[in-house]
């Protein structure tokens, strides 16, 4: 808290870059509650361009409105001039007006931007934050994909309506943010490119990295929010070494696999309020809060796209390129529609060989051959895996060799492995052979319950 009552002459004369959180005016007393570093002496600090728009000179007339200026604390502070600051700040922060108070003892509330998707998890997140009365909460619905066709409504409208109902129930503002361009360029285009060359990417990992904790976090900071909050099942821990992402007790719902590409800056500005709860407990909380989404079922489709058959989705952009289906022994068994439409370990491929089910065990892009075998085929298992594009959450690679646990897909049980460095990549040697190791997917590294990072399976 920075109080102007009785402040030093030196402080009044200094130009300080700060973020105003609240202004309280009581008669002749004027107090500014602001975020400002005060170690041994006053230091200048950059502020976000949307926190305060305009030149505010407490002892003179307000200057012209420009993208970014500073507040000058000088002689001549009075109620009239400070009221101008108060009104100017409210003018550019309409969603916060109901949070300001004329009480001198009004607590300073951090501003939190909640990702409200219309699902039960994010609805409970918003409810927990509002019920705590510790935060200034605003919700955001992210529009990332729109498949609207003539005569039909957009795929996102039902979820948006649910988000509106939840926001209205909680009495908080809801903003709709359009990131369709970013999602197309950074998630969908990459996904199509990977599938086209025969790999199987994970769009949920990319969506978290580039959209939720990329574009959306940037927008939240631009709008002056301190944190973003989402309904992910993951835990953030802070110590002297930095920020850590930990797995949660509900192993069936743990989502650290999808979040392993986050960095220190992103974690420092993120909240996961339901990290201590299991899914059944979240359902009970939704009922307790009386949420309209309490009984809503989960969506299991592509991130923000929905429950669309993958082949149907890919055929919109990738042309079929028929080829030969062969056994691992080289026998020709049939024809396939194109390698992008199949993934390692897939079972339903339309052909049989005796009574044993067949699985995709390899994709040979050079010859356009789809190789199949039974569930014990050696090609279906790997014990040594090369991983590229490696990212470490801490910002620094651990010491190698690293004895750890690895997850090759969401919800897979953690597998013991040894990690060694190989140029800019890493090599995983598993204690046991792994089934259906899929190029394009992510291998995520864990140690003592902490998600350390990961990379792309080569």
Answer left, alpha or beta for residue 389, where phi above 0 means left and psi between -120 and 50 means alpha.
left
- In sequence order, the β-bridge partners of residue 281 are none
Angle separating helix axes 120-132 and 157-170, nearest 10 degrees = 20
Cα–Cα distance, 120 to 307 (Å, whole number): 17
CA 301 vs CA 179, 306, 316, 367: distances in Å: 19, 4, 17, 32
Contacts of 55 (CB under 8 A, 6+ apart): 62, 63, 64, 66, 69, 70
Q: Does the annotation mark 303 as catalytic?
A: yes
Q: Does the annotation mark 404 as catalytic?
A: no
> What is the number of other CB atoms lying within 10 angstroms of the CB of residue 378?
10
* Annotated active-site residue in 115, 303, 404, 451: 303
* Annotated active-site residue in 115, 155, 207, 404: 207
Cα–Cα distance, 368 to 350 (Å, whole number): 17
Give the catalytic positions in this structure.
207, 303
């Amino acid at each position: 808290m920075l109080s102007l009552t009785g402040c030093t002459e030196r402080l009044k004369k200094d130009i300080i870059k700060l973020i105003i959180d609240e202004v309280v005016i009581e008669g002749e007393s004027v107090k500014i509650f602001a975020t400002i570093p005060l170690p041994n002496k006053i230091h200048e600090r950059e502020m976000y361009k949307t926190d305060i728009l305009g030149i505010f000179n407490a002892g003179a007339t307000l200057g012209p409105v420009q993208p970014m200026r500073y507040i000058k604390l000088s002689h001549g502070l009075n109620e009239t001039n400070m009221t101008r600051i108060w009104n100017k700040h409210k003018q550019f922060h309409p969603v916060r007006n109901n949070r300001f108070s004329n009480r001198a003892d009004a607590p300073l509330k951090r501003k939190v931007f909640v990702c409200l998707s219309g699902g039960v998890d994010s609805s409970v997140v918003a409810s927990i934050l509002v019920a705590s009365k510790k935060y200034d909460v605003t919700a955001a619905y992210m529009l990332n994909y729109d498949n609207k066709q003539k005569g039909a409504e957009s795929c996102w409208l039902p979820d948006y309506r649910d988000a509106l109902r939840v926001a209205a129930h909680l009495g908080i503002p809801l903003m709709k943010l359009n990131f369709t361009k970013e999602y197309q360029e950074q998630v969908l285009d990459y996904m199509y490119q990977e599938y086209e060359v025969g790999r199987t990417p994970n769009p949920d990992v990319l969506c978290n990295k580039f959209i939720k904790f990329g574009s959306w976090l940037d927008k939240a900071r631009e709008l002056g929010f301190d944190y973003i909050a989402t309904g992910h099942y993951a835990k953030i821990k802070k110590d002297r070494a930095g920020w850590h992402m930990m797995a949660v007790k509900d192993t069936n719902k743990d989502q650290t696999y999808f979040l392993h590409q986050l960095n220190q800056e992103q974690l420092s500005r993120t909240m996961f309020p339901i990290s201590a709860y299991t899914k059944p407990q979240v359902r009970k909380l939704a009922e307790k809060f009386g949420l309209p989404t309490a009984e809503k079922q989960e969506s299991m489709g592509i991130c923000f796209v929905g429950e669309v058959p993958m082949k149907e989705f890919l055929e919109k952009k990738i042309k079929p390129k028929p080829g030969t289906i062969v056994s691992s022994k080289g026998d020709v068994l049939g024809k396939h529609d194109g390698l992008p439409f199949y993934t390692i370990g897939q079972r339903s491929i339309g052909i049989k060989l005796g009574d044993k089910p067949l699985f995709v065990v390899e994709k040979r892009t050079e010859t356009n051959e789809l190789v199949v075998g039974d569930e014990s085929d050696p090609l279906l298992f790997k014990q040594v895996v090369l991983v590229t594009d490696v990212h470490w959450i801490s910002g620094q690679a651990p010491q190698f060799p690293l004895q750890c646990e690895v997850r090759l897909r969401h919800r897979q049980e953690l597998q013991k492995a040894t990690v060694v460095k190989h140029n800019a990549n890493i090599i995983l040697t598993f204690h046991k052979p792994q089934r259906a190791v899929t190029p394009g997917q992510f291998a995520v590294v864990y140690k003592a319950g902490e998600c350390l990072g990961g990379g792309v399976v080569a």
